[in-house]
């Protein structure tokens, strides 16, 4: 069965520290997609990244980086030199490229990230 | 430009009221979605429209009635809601349906049912 686990319910760090948010997934399929979304207190879900199962290259975008490891079924997200504006709930999500996926994203429970000034 | 707009931002309604939530996108996307999100939970899919036709209804009570007047607009009509329906309602769109395409979300409508 498909499942996404974000074991860290809440993380609190001081500004400028690096922080890694963990995401572990379960899927039966060889073709699937993984996503990260950010949800600040305003409520809007902001798309951060989409990665398919055949592309294991790590991704870097400014202070954000993602480490995709199929061997451990993980897709972790690191923020370098965190800033107060990074405070938000971060969701990891999985989608399988099959007809049975029923158009659904399988969401993790989310990790609340608090960056203290 | 990846923008989905939603109105109103906040809505308070009584259990006997009828109201509507509106969503609009101008990205040429052919799939649109309604989600419900309770506090401290991930979003739950309610409805999916593909090419203006309802393709998914996730066993949502009939007091929620979706409508897709055209490819850019999505409405959610509300009638006789219950207090437990209070939540953040999010609209999203993607270029195609299929779950694997990136969904872009609007800012949401915070609904309170008294």
Q: Which chain A residues touch B31 with a CB distance below 8 Å?
A: 103
Nearest Cα of chain A lies from the Cα of B34 at a distance, in angstroms, of: 12
Q: How far apart are CA B53 and CA B69, in angstroms?
A: 10
Rounded distance between C-alpha atoms, residue B108 and residue B106, angstroms:
5
Query: CB–CB of B98 and A50 under 8 A?
Result: no
Of A33-37, A61-65, B75-79, B100-104, minimum mean pLDDT range: B100-104
pLDDT tens readout for residues A73-102: 999 999 999 999 999 999 999 987 665 555
Per-residue pLDDT of chain B (114 residues; tens, 9 = 90+): 569 999 999 999 998 889 999 999 989 999 999 999 999 999 999 999 988 888 878 889 999 999 999 989 999 999 999 999 999 999 999 988 766 789 999 999 999 999
Measure B46 CA to nearest chain A CA, in Å.
Answer: 10
> For the residues of A10-42, what is the DSSP string, one character each?
EEEEETT--EEE--EEE-S-SSEEEEEEEE-TT
Q: Where are the beta strands (DSSP E) in chain B?
A: 4-7, 10-13, 18-25, 31-37, 44-50, 53-57, 64-70, 73-79, 87-94, 104-105, 109-113
In this predicted structure, what is the pLDDT of residue A56? 86
Partner-chain contact B105 A37, CB within 8 Å: yes
Task: Of A74, A35, A32, A73, give the one whose Cα is nearest residue A53.
Answer: A32
Taking the C-alpha atoms of residue B89 and residue B44, their distance in angstroms, rounded to an integer, is 10
- A4-8, A30-34, A97-101, B108-112: least confident range: A97-101
Task: Give the number of other Cβ atoms within 10 Å of residue A27's Cβ.
Answer: 19
Instruction: Provide the pLDDT for residue A98.
Output: 61
pLDDT value of residue B1:
54
Best probe of the A interface among B45, B46, B99, by most A CBs < 10 A, is B99
- For residue B106, the SS3 value is coil
* Nearest CA among B40, B48, B112, B45 for reference residue B81: B112
Angle at CA of residue B26, ends A92 and A47, nearest 5°: 15
């Amino acid at each position: 069965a498909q499942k996404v686990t974000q074991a860290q319910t809440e993380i609190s760090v001081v500004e400028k520290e690096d922080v890694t948010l963990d995401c572990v997934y379960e899927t039966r399929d060889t073709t699937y997609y993984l996503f990260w979304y950010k949800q600040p207190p305003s409520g809007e879900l902001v798309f951060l990244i989409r990665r398919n199962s055949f592309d294991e290259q790590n991704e870097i975008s400014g202070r954000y980086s993602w480490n995709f490891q199929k061997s451990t079924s993980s897709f972790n997200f690191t923020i370098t030199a965190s800033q107060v504006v990074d405070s938000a709930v971060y969701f990891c999500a999985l989608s399988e490229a099959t007809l049975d996926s029923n158009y659904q994203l399988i969401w993790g429970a989310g990790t609340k990230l608090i960056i203290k000034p | 430009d990846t923008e989905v707009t939603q109105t109103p931002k906040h809505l308070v309604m009584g259990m006997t009221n009828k109201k509507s939530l509106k969503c609009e996108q101008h990205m040429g996307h052919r799939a649109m979605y309604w989600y419900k999100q309770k506090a401290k939970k991930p979003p739950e899919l309610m409805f999916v429209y593909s090419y203006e036709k309802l393709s998914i209804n996730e066993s949502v009570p009939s007091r929620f009635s979706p409508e897709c007047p055209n490819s850019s607009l999505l409405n959610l009509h509300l009638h006789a809601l219950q207090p437990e329906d209070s939540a953040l309602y999010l609209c999203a769109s993607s270029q195609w349906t299929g779950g694997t395409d990136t969904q872009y979300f609007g800012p949401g409508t915070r609904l309170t049912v008294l």
